[in-house]
Structure 1
């Protein structure tokens, strides 16, 4: 039997919900069996049960109507805030986009989505036809930063064309599944699973994979300076909304020297300074993770996180040492975040020695890459006997 698993809230680490966690091979067999009952030609296709296209048009209509109700919209907005570091405005925007998606596929639009095409042949009596054909059983695993919009769009797109999805997401989609069932979604069309990564990997094994990666986005401000207040607001939103954890988040800002003569930079600083954890306009990225990690046992906190950051900001080490300090901080933050996530999903805790070893491996990889770049750009460095790794790690 699946074991019961406690899901904690984002900030206070209090109980949010208890779920059944599928964690062993014999536990996920019913999910595999359910998926295997769906044939390769799907639950419906242009030649099989075409009335289901209209069924999903009706489901989309009812679901869009439900999401348009202020009470329902507010419920999902606040539920998103429980699992992702988003302000109310950001979370409400996600619900709105989801609503518009459902409105776009009301009525006959699902049937039109599955339209086919024909190509004349090269001799009499020959003609080629193409159809929107389902894969059959599929699996949907989506990122945490859009707990409603991305999984629902992927889920409904799979259902519209006749697939049977196995869904692994958060409590937000669990509640959305209940709403879809209320709107007429057949309960046997979708399976919902709570599991760890290892168990999910066993289910996938050999599957057709569609990978959607994130982007590295930048903003370029040309020589024409106008609407400084608005531009500053947009830059702040694009960079820091949802703590920058979006595939469309602004990673870098390039601006013409004309903008440097304005108050843009100071306005950006003021706007970013207004963000705080209390209203989730910024997420618990560093300090909360540090404190929570050391507070869960197994480690003695040598210094406060604020002390470390203060030292890094106010100390003036040599240039190369400053670079090393930044790399160490990045590697430590990554290791702490990674270990904390593992401890939330498993009772096994790695000893400090292994975590320290992982940090050293990360540092060596980064420093080796830096040394290689420097060597390619300046051949004179080849004559230097010692390298960065030997100086600062041994």
Structure 2
């Protein structure tokens, strides 16, 4: 039996102005309706912005440590509901329970982290060039911010935008992706339970065109933070900056892992396999290209095929290794790229089919897929697939490996597997990516360091997470005090 959920505007849970709704189905069983949400439009978005603007002055005037106490109580509320949140995430987005639980824990940790950071939100004192003068900076909130978040990390990404925005003293309108809005709705309920004043956070569900557009264009919105595709993010950035809003967009990736001859091949297979097939490949940081030295190429291909074929696929609530795609359209997109890889002449080593029969017929399940004999100019080596599809490319040396790694329009995350320390250091220097890793998978991020990409992966304005998250959501005022 599904549950009906409202928007959250000015402290009240309410229906959309039109009364229209949409349903979210379990990706492991498309016949199961998980919940019903509001199909909002511009009127709802505008009301949410107006509520946030009305609450702004009082929230900005709230002492930062008091804001931090509310964030800490939110973390505690999330922790108390961790099992419920994990199940909601799995039944709407499809992640395995282990993956979903890890994501929920990340949201808890993010709120804990920024709760503590509120105690350090002062400025800096500088030496003035004259006597009887003080020169210092102070950090101030931007005002009202719009947060537009994706379905693939439906609580972690809202958390890493919401927590620093609130810590810095901003009011917020959050629009989650329609494919999996339930776990972020419950995050808002935890904020409400923690005592967040009415209007400080507002939550509106609906399509990007009906809700996301107004939240980007509204004249009272001071900043927009977006995570999603490069195509949509580019439009968001262009629209938001027309009236000089501050904007931050984190977008797509085509992330490589380079495997060198000195690497432990078993370790390399595990690193690439978990990065490529974890969370069903539905991560902007997922590894979609293995760039492998020719001396170990055949051995690596054999190993990664065994890895892919060993994975158990099924409903994320069961004890499986990989869950379904989030929607039928995402599944179809992955299958289309399998066809493209075959048409371009790559060798399909394993996978590539939709899973059918018994438990699979009513879900969006696909086999983990490995292509070999991939050229760097093939579409499956250039375009973001957003599914469990790995392209394996052969190179003759380190320099060629880095050149291939960089020869895409994206630059989000990249890794190398090597036991040569010089190669590791040189890779970090040369790779064109916002995140560079040595002997680690491309997925997985620490919450207290900056995150963001280069090239088409980012607007290259501000980073997210850590102190960088606070930098985006605040302005610096410089004060000259002559006494």
**In structure 2, distance between residues paired with 1:6 and 1:86:** 22
**In structure 1, distance between residues paired with 2:205 and 2:154:** 14
CA 1:43–1:229 in structure 2 vs 1: closer, same or farther (change >3 Å)? farther
- In structure 1, what is the equivalent of residue 148 of structure 2? 141
Q: Which structure: greater strand fraction?
A: 2
**In structure 1, distance between residues paired with 2:160 and 2:55:** 21
- Compute the displacement of 1:235 (Å): 1.0
Larger RCO (alpha carbons 8 Å, 6+ apart) = 2
Q: In structure 2, which of residues 305, 309, 314 is the aligned counterpart of residue 269 of structure 1?
A: 305
- In structure 2, what is the equivalent of residue 278 of structure 1? 315
- Compute the displacement of 1:277 (Å): 4.0
Say which SS state the counterpart of residue 76 (structure 2) adopts.
Answer: helix
Indicate the RMSD between aligned Cα atoms, in angstroms: 3.4
**In structure 2, distance between residues paired with 1:312 and 1:213:** 23
- Compute the displacement of 1:122 (Å): 2.2
- In structure 2, what is the equivalent of residue 55 of structure 1? 66
Q: In structure 1, which of residues 2, 5, 8 is the aligned counterpart of residue 24 of structure 2?
A: 8
CA 1:157–1:34 in structure 2 vs 1: closer, same or farther (change >3 Å)? same
**Alignment check: 8 A CA contact 2:111 2:159 kept:** no
Q: Which structure: greater helix fraction?
A: 1
- In structure 2, what is the equivalent of residue 357 of structure 1? none
CA 1:11–1:137 in structure 2 vs 1: closer, same or farther (change >3 Å)? same
- Compute the displacement of 1:143 (Å): 1.6
- In structure 1, what is the equivalent of residue 169 of structure 2? 162
- In the alignment, structure 1 residue 84 sits paired with structure 2 residue 106: no
- In the alignment, structure 1 residue 240 sits paired with structure 2 residue 251: no
Q: In structure 2, which of residues 186, 198, 213 is the aligned counterpart of residue 175 of structure 1?
A: 186
**In structure 1, distance between residues paired with 2:315 and 2:187:** 26
- In structure 2, what is the equivalent of residue 323 of structure 1? 344
Q: In structure 2, which of residues 250, 257, 261 is the aligned counterpart of residue 219 of structure 1?
A: 257
Runs of 5+ consecutive residues of structure 2 not aligned to the other structure: 1-16, 220-239, 348-382, 384-483
- Compute the displacement of 1:144 (Å): 1.3
**Alignment check: 8 A CA contact 1:43 1:136 kept:** no
**Alignment check: 8 A CA contact 1:2 1:20 kept:** no
- In structure 1, what is the equivalent of residue 113 of structure 2? 104
**In structure 2, distance between residues paired with 1:160 and 1:78:** 28
